[in-house]
Structure 1
């Protein structure tokens, strides 16, 4: 089986590229994936050139090679327009098209499009034979708002790799708090810094906060300086997967107080490392993180609630460890090998359906 996969550059920062790389690395050997980059960071001119090159490569492959299915990764905003163009270009070739929706802010950005454009984009997406979403919450949203056929929508939460062993995390001092993601408002990075600064002095001195990710780092550093917690907060910038594993292995608590999410890879990775999670009930998160079971849920923007949750886990080692153990157990079904098998089943079912209708 040969699959054309179209999406973000494999070298790009972020969750979509992480998922793409995991799929390519772990897909069974009898499935061949050719990845075509449709978006890469850079100037507008650079991004336009990348997309034109993607169209050229896509048409070249589908015209000259046997292709069983087309797997398109979708974010939000401009990504929706680009991917709609690719769907239109796919239609004459009668190949199964699978749209894979990741965008955390899809709903907010989609609403800003003019009504006529919304209707047009919805109609185009309805032509896809399969539509992968990250959670049941997003499944309902896409069916209700884009008019998708429920029988063509597949819930496939993001995957993760499971470390063979996780640390015991006993007698940690200082207690290590970790945030992984783009530093900015959407991920709640500024709320986290403020909530940490609001901790009682003894707890601040017994903890260390690490933020790993690119974004508005200077603004975050300035906030930490204003709140006089510079010595207790580390900013690492963007880190690679090996560095991330090292940080998660040494961490005691993982925090991601986002305002909008799909299903964050960062939370899955932290749970795989047996970490208790402090996060918000947005997007697909509440289907993964259960309050007082494998983590603590706080409302987006509620700094006092976030500070209270952090304080609770700093002072209660047993609770940290208990939540972390359950988090690890809960995330095991999200193992990348299970995920790839589900993905192959989707590819196969759609390909066979096309063949049964006499479409080659």
Structure 2
């Protein structure tokens, strides 16, 4: 089997998903090619390129812009040329909207069946206006007939795909996944020491980009409500982004300067060893990897009701799910966990058990089974 993957969104969870999937498929004997854009490449894909090469994945660097651009036609023709030169492919698999669009447009030029993984539809964002949502929805509906199968990474994303006009029988759910091997690095107390956390401090942790999609201001405001009652609590905001200065100004306004730690960019999963609770306040997601990483580190979770939380969190068992933007509800859930050591331990252990459902091996096996099914049709 020969498969070409296309990726423009070469950062964050999407890049991680593609690296894990391509390496896993190559390990199952699939001839994997990956066309990727260097324009938005972050450390995740950059660090994954050597592993991809070592696994036998053939790489094609193809500059792509996130927004619609005249260069998209040039990229489409470059992909068509590559398909002709490299020989027949069984499938083309596009990840996120730009690469997903190109993968399906290639069918008009005579390419193989097209698989599309959206990795969070932009139409799920409450921040875009109705006109933009209509336009994005129209594009998805237009490309639907060219889609052999759409892979949703969560039930929320699958529901949105069907709402956008994708036939139910063309939509499959294959959740994101992580490797569960014990991660190397510093022990919990060493990481806590580097963060400046004391022995009795309780760390509520966030890992991600400081952008509006992640809504870190919601978390900051919720923490402000529980901080006076829980003097031992500290908020650790791991990451960076355009909202960084705004967040720090808000922390000063809330008199939280001594209660919030800003370590910048760090290895997410390793840093989670220092946490006692993991918090995610996003307004929309596909299926965030940070939830799975936090579960693997044995943490109880508090998260908004976005894509993936319905799969990762069993309410009251390994965490709490609150409505998007509900500062009071978020604060109440944090308070429950901060005030109950036994509850934190029980939920953390349940997270460690539940995450075993979301392994990379299972994700690769499910994707490969879908590929084979498509080729038999």
Same fold flag (TM > 0.5): yes
Distance 1:176 1:162, change over 3 A: same
1:2-151 to 2 correspondence within 5 Å? 2-8=2-8, 10=10, 12=11, 14-27=12-25, 28-38=27-37, 40-41=39-40, 47=65, 51=72, 54-64=75-85, 65-75=87-97, 79=98, 83-108=100-125, 112-113=131-132, 118-119=137-138, 121-146=140-165, 148-151=166-169
Query: Normalising to structure 1: TM-score of the pair?
Result: 0.84
**RCO higher in 1 or 2 (8 Å CA, sep ≥ 6)?**
1
Offset, 1:94: 4.3
1:159 aligns with 2:180: no
User: Is the 1:8–1:16 Cα contact (8 Å) retained in structure 2?
Assistant: no
Q: Which segments of 5 or more consecutive residues in structure 1 lack a partner in the other structure? A: 354-360
Structure 2 distance, partners of 1:226, 1:116, is 39
Alignment-derived partner of residue 232 in structure 2: 206
Offset, 1:339: 0.6
Offset, 1:250: 2.1
Distance 1:331 1:226, change over 3 A: same
User: Is the 2:223–2:331 Cα contact (8 Å) retained in structure 1?
Assistant: yes
Offset, 1:117: 7.4
SS at match of 1:320: helix
User: Is the 1:38–1:50 Cα contact (8 Å) retained in structure 2?
Assistant: no
User: Is the 2:299–2:348 Cα contact (8 Å) retained in structure 1?
Assistant: yes
Structure 2 distance, partners of 1:234, 1:228, is 13
Matched residues, number = 338
Correspondence for 1:290 among 314, 317, 321: 314
Alignment-derived partner of residue 340 in structure 2: 316
SS at match of 1:3: strand
Deviates more, 1:245-254 or 1:183-192: 183-192
Offset, 1:18: 1.5
Offset, 1:72: 0.3
Alignment-derived partner of residue 218 in structure 1: 245
Structure 2 distance, partners of 1:338, 1:19, is 13
Offset, 1:164: 3.1
Distance 1:16 1:111, change over 3 A: farther
